[in-house]
Amino acid sequence: MQEIERKFLVTGDYKNDAFKAQRITQGYLNSAPERCVRVRIKGEQGFLTIKGISDAAGLSRFEWEREIPVAEAQALLALCEPGVIDKTRYLVKAGLHTFEVDEFYGDNAGLVVAEVELTSVDEAFAKPSWLGEEVTGDKRYYNSQLMQQPYSLWSR
C-alpha cells in the first residue's frame, strides 16, 4: 500500500503516443497533508482513496484505494471541500513504464503534468522527449493543493 512515483511537467507532444484517454473529476473530503481523502469519478467508475503524508523527498507515501459505485462517488463529491479538479488523463507507454499525463481544465487550465509509478525509489525508467522539469516533492503540484491554490492564480 505504498505509492512511489515521480512527477514532471510536460513540454512536448505526448497525445500521439497515448493509448488511452479518460476524463477525471475529483474532490477531497479531507485535504490535510497527513491524510488526504479523495473521491474520484474516472469515466464510469467511482473511487475512494486515502493518501498519507509524503516522505521528505516527496517520492513515497501510503495509498489505499477502493472502487465504489459511481452514484456513491457523485453523492460524496457533493460533500467535498471547495475546488473540484477536472482533467483528462492520457496513458502513454515509455519503455517498461506507463506515464499518466494529466491535462487540467478550469482554474488549472494550462497545466500538464506526467507521473510515473515505480517499484522502488531508485528504479530506472525511460524518459520520453516530451518530459520536462521534474517537480516530484513540489507540493504545489499535488492535486489536493491545486484545488486550494489553482494554477491560474500562481504568479509566473
Q: Using one digit for the tens of pLDDT, what is the confidence trace for 27-60?
A: 999 998 889 999 999 999 999 999 998 887 778 8
Supply the pLDDT for residue 156: 60
Percentage of the chain with pLDDT > 90? Answer: 86
Largest CA distance in the chain: 41
Fill in the amino acid letter for 95: G
Residues 24, 37, 3, CA angle at the centre, nearest 5°? 80
| Euclidean distance between CA atoms 25 and 74, whole angstroms | 10
Which of these is catalytic: 14, 28, 90, 142? 28
The reply to whether 151 belongs to the active site is no
Written as tens digits, the pLDDT of the chain (156 aa) is: 788 999 999 999 999 999 999 999 999 999 988 899 999 999 999 999 999 988 877 788 899 999 999 999 999 999 999 999 999 999 999 999 999 999 999 999 999 999 999 999 999 999 999 999 999 999 999 999 999 999 999 976
Supply the pLDDT for residue 34: 87
CB 80 within 8 A of CB 143: no
Domains in the chain: how many in total? Answer: 1
| Euclidean distance between CA atoms 155 and 14, whole angstroms | 26
Q: Domain containing 112 — which CATH number?
A: 2.40.320.10
Supply the pLDDT for residue 40: 97
Domain range spanning residue 33?
2-153
pTM of the model: 0.92
The dihedral through the CA atoms of 89, 92, 94, 98 has a sign that is positive
Which own/partner pairs from 77-80 qualify as long-range (CB within 8 Å, at least 24 positions apart)?
77/25, 77/26, 77/27, 77/39, 77/41, 79/29, 80/27, 80/28, 80/29, 80/39
